[in-house]
Amino acid sequence: MILRSAQNAAIIFNGQQDANQPGSLANTAGAGSATNVALQIYGPDGQALNIGETSSTVTLNDGENVVPLSVDYIATGAATAGNVTATATFSMVYS
């Protein structure tokens, strides 16, 4: 049997989804929080990555690898100022 190392990686994020914008992270800041604000994660391809969905893959090289990700605030209605907090966990998917 020949064992091969993974050649690609993808990510799945999980967390509390915003009620008004499914797929984005809810603002869980509590007292003093901004209203009508959620957080949208973007995957390695720059496209919106919904919570619970698998991202596009990145090719793995020997040594250190970087998976480019970003996040933006998004308005889910008439936003008001305040704190924004969200928590997400992630799983790496190797193929």
pTM given for the model? 0.88
The more confident residue out of 5 and 85 is: 85
Instruction: Determine the pLDDT at residue 62.
Output: 86
Angle at 11 between CA 44 and CA 52, to 5 degrees: 110
Average pLDDT over residues 49-59: 97
Own/partner contacts of 55-64, CB < 8 Å, gap of 24 or more, are 55/10, 55/11, 55/12, 56/10, 57/8, 57/9, 57/10, 57/95, 58/8, 58/9, 58/10, 59/7, 59/8, 60/5, 60/6, 60/7, 60/8, 60/9, 60/94
Instruction: Determine the pLDDT at residue 4.
Output: 64
Q: If you classify domain 8-94 with CATH, what class do you get?
A: mainly beta
Instruction: Determine the pLDDT at residue 13.
Output: 98
Percentage of the chain surpassing pLDDT 90?
89
